[in-house]
Structure 1
Amino acid sequence: MSTTFIRAAGAPREIGRAHGAVIAAPLRAFLDDGLTRLNHLTAEPLSLPELLPSIAVYRAEITAQLPDLAEEVAGLAEGAGITEDEAWLLQLRREVMGYSGVPAAGDCTTYARVAAGGPPVLAQTVDQNANLDRNISVVHVDRVGSPRRVLVLSFAGLLCFMGLNSDGLAIGLNLVTDGEWRPGVPPYLAIRHLLDSAGSVDEALEILAGLDLSSSRNMMLCDREKVVFAELQQGRLRVTEPAQRWAVHANHYLHPDFIPQDRQTAFDRISSDARTAAATEGLAALAPDAGPEEHFALLCKAPLCIADRGDITLERTVAAVVLLPAAGEMHLRPGDPNLALTQVFRV
């Protein structure tokens, strides 16, 4: 499976235009396929006009907090030849879908490690529904006036899903559910802002604490020296820095302050526990100097890798990613990672 690679440089609007221009035809097809495939997932069909009031509220929140990214969304619309409302919908699909809009059996397993005798690494499975592996892009961002470059994994015009920057900061994420989503900055855009703005885990956490996010997530952050995970819930942030300098996270809260608000179903918790245990055991067995292919071998195994069950509404592993922040490299296997060749991108 091929991955579209996009180089985008300049001011925010120019970056958006470059991004949109490269994937204009696929974006148009994606928008026309059941309204970004949302109508393949929901019980009742949605329409763009009925979503416009909600989009407007989110757009105002994002523009107030992250004006550069709002400009980039406008540029994306121009480059792709779509409306700005459509470009905003591409950023807000997960918020529109909600945390419990469809059944789940997996939703990303992430781990990171900074070990003596080996390179820092952040790795994860990317579990999504809606056949999003057909719409994977990797975007290299070089913003004018910025001291750093950014490399992100993207789906269908999304400004960022996860990624790393040239300062050696890598960020991955997991869905966690607290049942209290609201207008604000979507976590995907927050990650992009952190990669644009921070050169280390500590700088990223300081910036993250000042953002008003829309929905619950866990973010795994790794630089050359430190691994933390930052759980977000209803405007609150809890950061855990493991003493062993490695961490594993799936889709249930780990911080005691947040565990009582976890709204994961019992079935989903079984999957999350199993993936957490398998990733913990597998990571412990990997040598400190293990390379990307050895990490992929772990990510490709069940239960970490979620198989395609032929149902568009069910999440499955649509990519596996190994980030090497010190080397500035993203190693990607798009689609089912058991069937894909590794592609390497450098920031």
Structure 2
Amino acid sequence: MKTDLLSVIDCAGSPRQRGRTHGEALRTAIAEKIMRWHDAIAEAYGVTAKTFIPRFLAATRFGDAVKRYTPHLAEEVAGIAEGSNIAHETAFALQLLDEEWWFGRSTGDGHCSSLAIAPCGPIPTIIAQTMDLPRWHDGAQVLLKTQDSEAGETMVFTSAGLIGLMGVSERGVGVCVNTLSQLAVSPTGLPVAFVMRGALACSSVSDAIRFLHDVPHASGQNYQLGDRQNIATVECSAGKVLPLATKSRCSLHTNHPLASDDRRSATIPLAGSDSSRGRLQSLHLDLDDVRVTTDDVKAALAACRAGGEVSLVAPQLATEPMTVGAVVYEIGERTKISVCAGPPSVEAWRDIGLGT
């Protein structure tokens, strides 16, 4: 998708109303995405979506965790189903990206790169990432803008029908994520999309860390957190929530654990793929400097070094990963967003202010 085609959907009212607005505004995009998703399921797992999705939902209890820990988001998903005129089971399964991958035994360890940079003098806190997903998500990118009496405006980058991939609030909390498929999973935990939105609703980094400790985790995931004063990097899995000690102003992460040993299986190496290690090295080459600025971050997210491509251009196959979006959140006196609706190596950035 071209960045200038990226829609911003105003989702006002109660959680159910916000979901309905999302579903109604993106009804066509959601329907088209579901068709591509079903084709991808058949290709990836060798069974039809009609068989796989009921089997997936019956074998897991994610809904119980969602209703207990993030009931407002359960209502939002119900609203998405109503607004887009799809079955609730389909709308709920659309939220379970990481969970589908480990349940279906998808190969690979993911392909997102994230970072958190602590404030320094006039340079504000910066949280950023590339969001790399199978190419069938391309064309479904969207920004959801919500309004809350406490958090103010919140802007969430997502794929049509999904409650969120990464986001930032006017109150000054940003959340970015990257998959850690090597770590332990749970069929009764809280799925990543709901964890991300739950952390985003917190008032500070310290509150978000408490939230991450309080909820059970369905999937291995790294959460990059930032507010106006602090940053934090937290590796989460079914058995551990582990904040990482940062040795410099920059905390950089890709798709292998840097500290957690809560291994999903004894046969899965924690070292990660060559791609994950190569992308981490690329980030370090570009960002290990106390003077890092937003422009430096954008350049790092656009890097295409051989063996460490942070920005992934569209592949031939719909099931292979590409960078469907990238964000840079500046959290200072005001919260600012730079967003790219595709690989930042080839697509333009768009700047957006919150609360303006």
Instruction: Report whether the alignment pairs 1:29 with 2:32.
Output: yes
- Given that 2:178 and 2:254 are in contact with CA atoms closer than 8 Å, whether structure 1 keeps it comes out as yes
Measure, in 2, the Cα distance between the counterparts of 1:68 and 1:79: 16
1:297 aligned residue: 299
The one of 19, 39, 42 aligned to 1:39: 42
- Given that 1:105 and 1:315 are in contact with CA atoms closer than 8 Å, whether structure 2 keeps it comes out as no
Amino acid at match of 2:338: H
**CA-to-aligned-CA distance 1:6-64 (integer Å, 9 cap, x gap):** 11111111111111111011111222335274334333333144444246x22222112
1:246 aligned residue: 250
- Given that 1:35 and 1:46 are in contact with CA atoms closer than 8 Å, whether structure 2 keeps it comes out as yes
Measure, in 2, the Cα distance between the counterparts of 1:203 and 1:9: 25
**Mind listing any 5+ residue stretches in structure 2 that lack a counterpart?**
none
- Relative distance call for 1:156 and 1:37 in structure 2 (3 A) is farther
The one of 73, 76, 95 aligned to 1:72: 76
The Cα of 1:106 is off from its aligned counterpart by 5.1
The Cα of 1:313 is off from its aligned counterpart by 2.4
The Cα of 1:235 is off from its aligned counterpart by 3.4
TM-score of the aligned structures, taking structure 2 as reference length: 0.88
Paired residues for 1:73-152 under 5 Å: 73-98=77-102, 101-104=105-108, 107-117=111-121, 118-143=123-148, 145-152=149-156
2:285 aligned residue: 281
**CA-to-aligned-CA distance 1:208-261 (integer Å, 9 cap, x gap):** 111112111111111112121111122320111314232001111111544796
Partner-residue secondary structure (3-state), 2:303: coil
Paired residues for 1:1-347 under 5 Å: 1=2, 2-35=5-38, 37-47=40-50, 48-54=53-59, 57-98=61-102, 101-104=105-108, 107-117=111-121, 118-143=123-148, 145-176=149-180, 177-196=182-201, 198-255=202-259, 257-258=261-262, 268-285=272-289, 287-288=291-292, 290-291=293-294, 293-302=295-304, 303=308, 304-326=310-332, 327-347=334-354
Partner-residue secondary structure (3-state), 1:149: strand
- Given that 2:237 and 2:262 are in contact with CA atoms closer than 8 Å, whether structure 1 keeps it comes out as yes
Q: Alignment identity in percent?
A: 24
Amino acid at match of 1:191: M
**CA-to-aligned-CA distance 1:151-186 (integer Å, 9 cap, x gap):** 111112111111111121111111112253423211
Measure, in 2, the Cα distance between the counterparts of 1:36 and 1:74: 24
- Given that 1:218 and 1:231 are in contact with CA atoms closer than 8 Å, whether structure 2 keeps it comes out as yes
Q: What count of residue pairs does the alignment treat as equivalent?
A: 342
- Given that 2:250 and 2:288 are in contact with CA atoms closer than 8 Å, whether structure 1 keeps it comes out as no
**Mind listing any 5+ residue stretches in structure 1 that lack a counterpart?**
none
- Relative distance call for 1:169 and 1:34 in structure 2 (3 A) is closer
Amino acid at match of 1:345: I
